[in-house]
Amino acid sequence: MTIGMGRIVGDGVMYFYVQDIAVMPDYQGQGVGTRLMDALMAYIHDHAPDKAFVGLYAAPAAIVFYERYGFIIPPADDLTGMIHVVQRPSRPQTAHPA
């Protein structure tokens, strides 16, 4: 039996949108949504390049939940939803032999 779902849509390269996170009412509050988001964000961070854009739309009651994953409400008044930008740790540059 399916008790929850979520999906990622986008171009698979630079733009990723988290959509349709849903958990059946009888299973809400038991960590199912957290496990779904953990899996979706792990996929994004495993496959998205540095500076990739990740977006979603959240109900007001869910904003704090998504903030735990690094999503923010953009400061511009003309944007909607929440955003997250993949940040890869910088790697030290290796010297190339001359």
User: Which regions of 11-51 does DSSP assign to beta strands (E)?
Assistant: 15-23
Q: Which of 37, 40, 38 is nearest to 10 (CA)?
A: 40
Q: Which of 39, 43, 49, 37 is nearest to 87 (CA)?
A: 49
Please tell me what DSSP assigns to residue 14: S
* Residue 2 confidence class, pLDDT cut points 50, 70, 90: very high
Residue scoring higher pLDDT (92 or 42): 42
Q: Mean pLDDT for the chain? A: 88
Percent of the chain with pLDDT over 70: 87
Q: Which domain holds residue 64?
A: 4-85
* pLDDT score at 4: 97
Query: Domain tally for the chain?
Result: 1
Kindly report the CATH number assigned to the domain that includes residue 29: 3.40.630.30
* pLDDT score at 22: 94
* pLDDT score at 86: 86
Alpha-carbon 13 to chain mean position: 14
